[in-house]
Amino acid sequence: MTSTHDFEATAADGRTVRLGDYKGKLLLIVNVASKCGLTSQYEGLEALYRATKDSGVEVVGFPTNQFLGQEPGTDEEIQEFCKTTYDVTFPVLAKVDVNGENAAPLYDFLRAEAPGDWGPHLGQFYEAVKDISPATEPGDIKWNFTKFLIGRDGEVLKRYEPPVTPEEIQSDLPQYV
């Protein structure tokens, strides 16, 4: 696989989602969770999506339960939470693993293409998470709400670590749009 567009994912209702359907658009892929200290980022992600979708920016959420069990719900419960709590209209797909031997192939690819910039420069967030994150391999996703910006051609442009807000990403988008 040489591009994000080569991958498929599973929607919450079991349908197959071809990431190739996003060719020609910027895509922000985010691992999400409903019981995380960063869950309020759903609000910013939805605002970013609504503000930029007409210019060809899409947001896709991938729930994961790999970080302190912060996404324990079923796919149906996750959909209900996203809709009723944050009025999420961007796709939130089926729950996946983002690290380890059962990681979704898409996430193996994303981690290899953009290993991240995890470290003390992330300040208080880094200090809070460094000893409890189950990430063990270089490039592993360290926590919920890690974001990957994918170019219109499917190439990984940038990885944003969890404390980077959707508002910060939105101000970064003009150079890619």
Average pLDDT estimate for 48-70 = 97
Bigger pLDDT: 43 or 135? 43
CATH of the domain at 73: 3.40.30.10
Q: How many domains does the chain have?
A: 1
Tell me, what's the pLDDT at 1? 62
Average pLDDT estimate for 105-119 = 95
Residue whose token pair is 């003390």: 120
pLDDT beyond 90 at 106: yes
Per-residue pLDDT tens over the stretch 68-83: 999 999 999 999 999 9
pLDDT beyond 70 at 36: yes
φ and ψ at 174, to 5 degrees? -55, -30
Domain encompassing residue 47: 4-175
Q: Mean pLDDT in the chain?
A: 95
- Given 26, 28, 36, 88, the catalytic residue: 36
* pTM, entire model: 0.96
- Which pairs count as long-range contacts for 69-74, CB under 8 Å and 24+ apart, including other chains? 69/35, 70/33, 70/34, 70/35, 70/36, 70/144, 71/32, 71/33, 71/34, 71/35, 71/36, 71/95, 71/144, 72/35, 73/34
82 assigned to active site: no
